[in-house]
Amino acid sequence: MSRRRSSYPPEFRRQLMELVRTGRTPEELSHEFEPSAQAIRN
């Protein structure tokens, strides 16, 4: 059985979305923060 990580807090998700909207790439953000680039895209 796979382990599932609990979801990120809503404020953290909003912060990442705002950074993507300002021009940061998911790859850049994944190096700076914990989630993978694919998780940020989703």
Does the pLDDT value for residue 1 go beyond 60?
no
Site of tokens 């990442």: 16
Q: Residue 29 has what pLDDT?
A: 95
Tens of pLDDT along 6-42?
688 999 999 999 999 999 999 999 999 989 999 999 8
- Radius of gyration of the chain from its Cα atoms, rounded to whole angstroms: 11
pLDDT value of position 7: 85
